[in-house]
Chains A and B, each alone.
Chain A
Amino acid sequence: MSSIWEYANPKKFIDTTDRILPWISVLAVVCLVVGLVWGFFFTPDDFRQGSTVKIIYLHVPSALMAINAWLMMLVTSIIWIVRRHHVSALAARAAAPVGVVMTLIALATGAIWGQPMWGTWWAWDPRLTSFLILFLFYLGYIALWEAIENDDTAADLTSILCLVGSVFALLSRYAVNFWNQGLHQGASLSLDKEENVHDVFYYPLLVSIAGFVLLFIALVFLRTQTEIRARRMRALMARERMG
């Protein structure tokens, strides 16, 4: 049986992801189109929130991915720190811009949804504030990678930053439970069926979430391949310069 660590080999990673990337991409587009079209055109208005409930198909999946992208970066950063596999450090680097866009979508759709429901675009509510801090951590993480020329040093320092930022990623997820205050409601999805949104909203939401997850995986694969090639190019150019 093959070991997962085989994929730490850049060539093996590129060969494998090259084969599955088209399938994941097609599946992501299908799930996104089905989930969003279903949610937008074929679900009723909520009795309290009216048609704004349709924002849930963008807001919940993007918020979910904003947090989980950081957690994926945490895992790959720990793998880098412990095992020094370059592919894992580059995968974390590749995921950050995807995570920042997911966070931005969650913040923007949250503000747009909040205005008619809460009467304000923004409040210093525990979940909103921890999400804003997570967004700033993403920007800092990307800036740190860009600022340091040596790839290994950049991977070391960004991994430490990722460990620190993970506190805010978890806080974003559980802020509502930690502090029973603020405007933001509790989780829309739960293992307890009683706490879930109604089935008529739930199923298209699940399809939309699947689309966001698959899109994230496809983009991380594509961007990690790019980072691997860019790193190899830098190494080749350095060798050329030395003669």
Chain B
Amino acid sequence: MPDLGKYAEAVLSAYAVSIVLLVALVVLSWRRAVRVRREMDALERKVKGDG
């Protein structure tokens, strides 16, 4: 760990905030993609079954 001196709090909080926001964006995008894909596949199977 580098010696961040008197600015340690500022530097670490900038990294923490950014990483949390980026990870949240990736996780939410991924989860929605998986859910929509699953729902879409189920709906297409149902439509083909009906038709």
Residues of A within 8 A of B (CB): 36, 40-41, 45, 50-52, 54-55, 58-59, 62, 97-98, 101, 104-105, 108-109, 112-113, 115-116, 215, 219, 222-223, 225-226, 229-230, 232-233, 236-237, 239-240
Contacts and interface: CB of A to CB of B under 8 A. Distances in A.
The 4 closest A-B pairs by CB, nearest first: A51-B4, A112-B14, A229-B40, A58-B18
Contacts, number: 93
B36 A40 contact: no
A237 B4 CA distance: 56
Contact of A52 (B3, B7, B29): B7
A40 B7 CA distance: 13
Contacts of A226: 29, 32-33, 36-37
B36 A230 contact: yes
Contact of B7 (A116, A215, A229): A116
Interface residues of B, number: 31
Interface of B: 2-8, 10-11, 13-15, 17-18, 21-22, 24-26, 29-30, 32-33, 36-37, 39-40, 43-44, 47, 50
Given A101-B22, A233-B36, A109 B17 contact: yes
A232 B42 CA distance: 13
Contact of A51 (B2, B26, B32, B40): B2
Interface SS of chain A? helix
A216 to B, nearest CB: 10
Given A58-B15, A215-B26, A236-B44, 18 more contacts: A36-B15, A54-B4, A58-B14, A97-B25, A101-B25, A105-B18, A109-B17, A112-B17, A113-B14, A115-B10, A219-B25, A219-B29, A223-B29, A223-B33, A225-B33, A233-B43, A237-B43, A240-B47
